[in-house]
Amino acid sequence: MNRQPQPAITWREDMIPQDVTLIERFASASGFFRPDEVLLAADFAAEHLSKGPESGYNFIFAQEGDQTLGYACYGHIPGTLHSWSLYWIIVNQSTRSRGLGSRLLAQVEQRVAAAGGERLYIETSSQPMYHPTRRFYQSRGYTLLTVLEDFYARGDGKVVYAKTMPDLAKG
């Protein structure tokens, strides 16, 4: 395969007010999310901005210089001891398929494992347009647990994956 070079990335975890709009733009421009989902992604960011880690939502941004190329949002699942969830992961359209999503996910996994997390859950859609997304998770060691038919909407099921320690610690 003729692969494009990977961008030189630094990881940023501190959120700045402009990130709320940035995330809204990312989610909207991805073409993957309904308008209510786009607002939800921005709400998670606004919640983190006002409450910090108390919000339960952690963020990591992939930076190339001052340009943000992608981000992930994840957190401990309330009411569980060691289960975490990846709420969102989005890579800028023009940067996709260059390995950044894999690196971003590995960064999340390292942080979850370091915080004592033992299982990282990922939920996504069963729609055909998410086929590359589902393949992405499966090829990164996530096990398909279940499909809840018609969960998000009629004909749009929820597909649930998880990765468990010790695989989680390996990234």
Positions touching ligand COA (CB under 6 A) are 3, 6, 30, 32, 89-91, 96-102, 124, 133, 135-136, 139
Asked if 105 contacts 140 with a C-beta cutoff of 8 angstroms, the reply is: yes
Compute the least distance from the CB of residue 113 to ligand COA, in Å: 19
Dihedral sign from CA coordinates of 66, 102, 45, 169: negative
Residue nearest ligand COA by beta-carbon distance: 101
Compute the least distance from the CB of residue 54 to ligand COA, in Å: 25
Compute the least distance from the CB of residue 12 to ligand COA, in Å: 17
| Pick 28 or 30: Cβ nearer ligand COA | 30
Burial of residue 51 (CB within 10 Å: 0-12, 13-18, 19+) is exposed
**Kind of pairing, strands 119-125 and 10-12?**
unpaired
Of 6, 8, 105, the closest CA to residue 63 belongs to 8
| Pick 52 or 65: Cβ nearer ligand COA | 65
Compute the least distance from the CB of residue 65 to ligand COA, in Å: 18
Pure H helices in the chain: 18-30, 35-51, 100-114, 131-139, 167-170
